[in-house]
């Protein structure tokens, strides 16, 4: 085999491996972490609390590939089905968390909903999970994602504070909200940037293989 015939397959293998990491490694220069705030105590007259129903709730994040060699990699969907927390209807607020190490990678039905056709192999999915938890999110140090949401006037966006990797960001997120039979159902979508939480999008070969900064988050929350 000539040198040329050797180097091309080697570079292709490298690109495919890199693409399956999708979520980026931590920045080379550490980002100052903002301590995750403890949920504020509800007033004693806050009324009954509703519990988030994990069986009927979902948070799914789509991470997409980029660069001129993007075709060699995969887009990924990362999802949590284990959301724990409460909603106070009288206070128009909610507080909930989910664990990073309980998130699922590339479930076939969620990939279909996100418009992703090709299903990665089991090895690629496991590699993505390992890189996400250990090289990117530092899940051992920052195991939880914490969310605090407050509702304003009807029709106004929710004010949502998200704490990820020790960094808190507050966003106004439009939602569809329904109150029915004593429960509350909320769904919506929002675009987030990895760099907003101190994460650096992964790239190799001078950006020819990269991960897009933007993440697409879709959520459905049911509280009873």
Mean pLDDT computed over 34-50: 59
Q: Residue ranges per domain, the chain?
A: 3-223
Mean pLDDT computed over 150-165: 94
CB neighbour list of residue 104: distance below 8 Å, 6 or more residues apart: 78, 79, 80, 81
Of 194, 96, 102, 193, give the one whose Cα is nearest residue 139.
102
Q: What is the pTM of this model?
A: 0.76
Question: Quick one: tokens of 3?
Answer: 């040198």
CA 86/CA 148 separation, integer angstroms = 10
Structure confidence at residue 12 as a pLDDT band (50, 70, 90): very low
Question: Quick check: 26 pLDDT over 70?
Answer: no
Higher per-residue confidence, 79 vs 155? 79
Provide the 8-state DSSP code for 133. I
**Of the candidate ranges 13-22, 98-107, 158-167, the one whose mean pLDDT is the lowest:** 13-22
11 neighbors 4 (Cβ within 8 angstroms): no
Please report the pLDDT score of residue 60 as a whole number: 98
Look at the block and give the residue holding tokens 């966003």: 171
CA 162/CA 191 separation, integer angstroms = 13
Digit-coded pLDDT (tens) for 127-137: 889 888 887 88
Please report the pLDDT score of residue 203 as a whole number: 66
The DSSP annotation for 7-60 comes to HHHHHHHHHHHHHTT-SPPBPSSPPPPPPPPPPPPPPTT--PPEEB-GGG-EEE
How buried is 10 (Cβ within 10 angstroms: 0-12 exposed, 13-18 middle, 19+ buried)?
A: exposed
Provide the 8-state DSSP code for 154. T
CA 216 to each of CA 28, 198, 209: distance values in angstroms, whole numbers, following the listed order: 25, 17, 20
For the chain, what is the mean pLDDT? 82
Higher per-residue confidence, 127 vs 123? 123
128: helix, strand or coil: helix
Question: Quick check: 90 pLDDT over 70?
Answer: yes
Mean pLDDT computed over 159-179: 96
Percentage above 70 pLDDT, the chain = 78
Kindly state which CATH superfamily the domain 3-223 is placed in: Lipid/polyisoprenoid-binding, YceI-like (2.40.128.110)
Mean pLDDT computed over 90-102: 96
Residue 194 pairs with which residues in a beta bridge?
none
């Amino acid at each position: 085999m000539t040198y040329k015939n050797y180097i091309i397959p080697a570079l292709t293998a490298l690109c495919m491996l890199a693409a399956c990491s999708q979520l980026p490694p931590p920045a080379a220069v550490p980002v100052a972490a903002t301590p995750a705030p403890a949920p504020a105590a509800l007033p004693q007259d806050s009324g009954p609390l509703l519990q988030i129903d994990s069986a009927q709730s979902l948070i799914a994040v789509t991470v997409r590939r980029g660069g001129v060699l993007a075709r060699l990699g995969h887009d990924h969907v990362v999802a949590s089905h284990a959301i724990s927390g409460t909603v106070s209807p009288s206070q128009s607020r909610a507080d909930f968390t989910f664990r990073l190490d309980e998130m699922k990678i590339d479930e076939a039905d969620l990939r279909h909903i996100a418009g992703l056709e090709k299903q990665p192999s089991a090895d690629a999915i496991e590699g993505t999970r390992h890189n996400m938890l250990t090289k990117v999110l530092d899940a051992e140090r920052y195991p939880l994602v914490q969310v605090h949401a407050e509702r304003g006037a009807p029709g106004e966006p929710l004010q949502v504070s998200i704490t990820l990797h020790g960094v808190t960001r507050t966003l106004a997120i439009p939602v569809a909200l329904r109150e029915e039979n004593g429960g509350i159902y909320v769904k919506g979508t929002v675009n987030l940037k990895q760099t907003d939480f101190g994460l650096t999008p992964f790239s190799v070969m001078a950006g020819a293989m990269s991960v897009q900064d933007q993440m697409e988050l879709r959520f459905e929350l049911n509280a009873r």
